[in-house]
Amino acid sequence: MSTAPGADAERVIEADKVAVRFGARTIFQDVSFSVRRGEIFVVLGGSGCGKSTLLRLLVGLVPAAAGHATVLGVPIDSPDPAAQRKIRRNTGVMFQQGAMFGSFSLLQNVMLPLVEFTRLPHDAAEWIARTKLGLVGLADFAGFMPSEISGGMLKRAAIARAMALDPEILFLDEPSAGLDPITSAGLDALITSLSRDLGITFVVVTHELQSILAIGDRVIMLDREAKGMIAEGDPRKLRDEATHPTVRAFFRREELV
């Protein structure tokens, strides 16, 4: 676990009563929370509760039907290109399947944002990209194509690409889904060490209980039935003290009666 920042730390993400609807179907509503600089913030919940949708909302891929949210002080739906650029340049996203560009090698994937968005010399961009691949343990796979590596490696490569421009915030969608426990624990260790050593703020969407307890500084829990948030706080406290039946069932791996 990383050393959690205090309650007075700067808030890098704030959401106020946000809602997402697809047509007439409400995915969630009245979701409010804030993320502090340097913490590992976990969004958890069962399948279909809208946790990935919440992440897509925060990165601007899904519009909010109601409410208001800011990332690094910028409204996520700001039409101002400079404001949007500030969010894009200072956040990175790892998608569930990695979303590595299949026609580029891992090194080219990580170099792409460096080459496109900075004026760094090619040598510098390559050095940085190799370092980022090394940070996620893929230094020896720089020349591999995404189709040539395993699912766990793809996710780590996607983290390296998301970190290419040294973002302040990293959004991770289901980093441990579909991975074996050892790989998954390795990924958890990577996330905590990056948070501790480089001060990156993480917003992690997951339903893996062990991951949540291992890395989460603070969590919010979404629920499909409630169409919104049903819990917020320290995951270990929630495990021990929660009274909400769904939250208790989730943390104790029980069936909901």
Partner 1 sequence: MAERFSLTETTAAGGTRLAFAGELDAQAATALWPKLLGRDAKRPAGIDLSGVTRCDGAGAALIQSIQAAHPGLAVTGASPALSRVLARFAEAHRAPAARSAAPDPLPTRIGQAVIAGFSAAGEGIGFIGSVVVSTLAVLVGRGKLRLSECAAQAEAVGTRALPLILLLGFLIGLILAFQSAIPMRRFGAEVFVADLVSIALMRELGPLMSAVILAGRSGSAFAAEIGTMKVNQEIDALYVMGFDPVQFLVLPRIVGAMLAMPVLAVAMLASGIAGMTTVMTGFGFPVSAILRQVTRATTPEDLFGGLFKAMVFGLTVALIGCRRGMETGTGPKAVGESATATVVGSIVAIVLLDGMFAILFNLLGL
Binding site for partner 1 (CB under 8 A): 101-103, 114, 118-121, 123-124, 127-128, 130-135, 139-140, 142-143, 145-147, 163, 165-166, 193, 197-198
Min CB(77)–partner 1 separation in Å: 27
Min CB(214)–partner 1 separation in Å: 20
Min CB(222)–partner 1 separation in Å: 29
The residue (of 119 and 253) whose beta carbon lies closer to partner 1 is 119
Min CB(33)–partner 1 separation in Å: 27
The residue (of 23 and 102) whose beta carbon lies closer to partner 1 is 102
The residue (of 116 and 225) whose beta carbon lies closer to partner 1 is 116
Min CB(148)–partner 1 separation in Å: 9
Identity of the amino acid at 249: A
The residue (of 131 and 210) whose beta carbon lies closer to partner 1 is 131
The residue (of 79 and 102) whose beta carbon lies closer to partner 1 is 102
